[in-house]
Amino acid sequence: MEVIQRTISDLLPNPQILNFHAGSPTLPAWVGHGLRLMMGAGDMNHGGIPNVQLFATYDVFFCMPWDDRGSLRTNIEYLLANCPNKLICFIDAKSFEQMALFTKLFAGRFSFIDGHGGHCPHLTPSNAQNVLMDGGVATNMFEWSDNVVSPEQFEGWLQQGYFAGISSLSFITGRVYGIDDAKEAEFKRRLIDKMREISSSNSQIKLDAELDGLLTELPFRELTGITHCLLFDYVCPPNMVGSWVNMMKDWQDSVHRHFLFTKVPFDVSKVDDASIRLGPLHPSVARARRLVDAIQNDLVTGFTLGAKRKFETFNKLEFP
């Protein structure tokens, strides 16, 4: 990108700077696993503090990059002078090719994925499961909408489950305008019913009993945010589960409710047990192994729907 050449060309190339806009970067040999990734940081300053200094507990920074009056150079110089085991990735999250390189390079290396602010780049659940290690978690995964929604539009969503002419799921988090307290209370009651209906049909993102018991106490806008997460069940890979937790990230000053994706190990113990009892060449065992391989391939290639359908078949398998 032009901004890179103009701003930090004298600092390149450098093994700590992975530029996905130009070629195929490689990981330094010292990069390990259990890394912490911060999305949307590494190129800007907050209150005069470089991102890489502000988020000092993170190992990898993901940014376009942008430059605001020398902010990119400030971050790079701080990283190179103070953080010998950290990386900055210059990458466009909307580029399929760049994200394919990123997920291949960092496959299974992250224990925690975060994002600063509501408009940072977001990994898809499919990309997140590829780069997370088993047991790893990802938060701040979805964009909040800055749109405003008319009462009629929201009424239509409550009745039909979609906004006419709009495909973005984030629209549900838009601010509903022109309603009084009584109308908001009505929408809130109906939204809670809708949330429970969605949760009951979901396979991997469900309201737990504790959160369900709090719904009537939560503000309307937070309810739309929870609904937004529930709607992503259909693109949630079968090795990911979603939940809400109260936590304070190390860069926050108070506890907040966060939605987390957690990568869970793909349990093939029943196939292993059948292989011991029946032998690895038994037709039922061989078919199960092929199905597991097909699921894993779908997960790597991002064919989430195929992985989910095959996983449903896998769960129904019975052995003699």
Please compute, for residue 222, the number of CA atoms within 13 A of its CA located in the half-sphere on the CB side.
12
Q: Of 126, 96, 125, 102, whose CA–CA distance to 35 is shortest? A: 102
Q: Give the residue with greater pLDDT, 22 vs 276.
A: 276
- Cα–Cα dist 110/132, whole Å: 5
What is the pLDDT, as a whole number, of residue 145? 85
Whether residue 12 is predicted with pLDDT greater than 90 in this model: the reply is no
Average of per-residue pLDDT across 249-254:
91
Model confidence pLDDT, tens digit, residues 253-269: 999 999 999 999 989 99
Please compute, for residue 144, the number of CA atoms within 13 A of its CA located in the half-sphere on the CB side.
15
- In order, the DSSP letters of 188-214 are HHHHHHHHHHHHHH-SSB---HHHHHH
Whether residue 303 is predicted with pLDDT greater than 90 in this model: the reply is yes
Containing H/E element for 75? helix 71-82
Whether residue 167 is predicted with pLDDT greater than 90 in this model: the reply is no
- Cα–Cα dist 305/288, whole Å: 19
Average of per-residue pLDDT across 30-39:
97
Predicted confidence band at 166 (pLDDT cuts at 50, 70, 90)? low
Average of per-residue pLDDT across 198-222:
96
Whether residue 1 is predicted with pLDDT greater than 80 in this model: the reply is no
Average of per-residue pLDDT across 41-69:
93
What is the pLDDT, as a whole number, of residue 278? 93
Q: Could you tell me what percent of the chain has a pLDDT over 70?
A: 99
3 state SS of 143: coil
Q: Give the residue with greater pLDDT, 219 vs 164.
A: 219
What is the pLDDT, as a whole number, of residue 118? 65
Domain boundaries, the chain: 2-139, 148-237, 269-315
Q: Give the residue with greater pLDDT, 63 vs 23.
A: 63
Whether residue 270 is predicted with pLDDT greater than 90 in this model: the reply is yes
Question: Over the chain, what is the mean pLDDT?
Answer: 93
Q: Give the residue with greater pLDDT, 25 vs 170.
A: 25
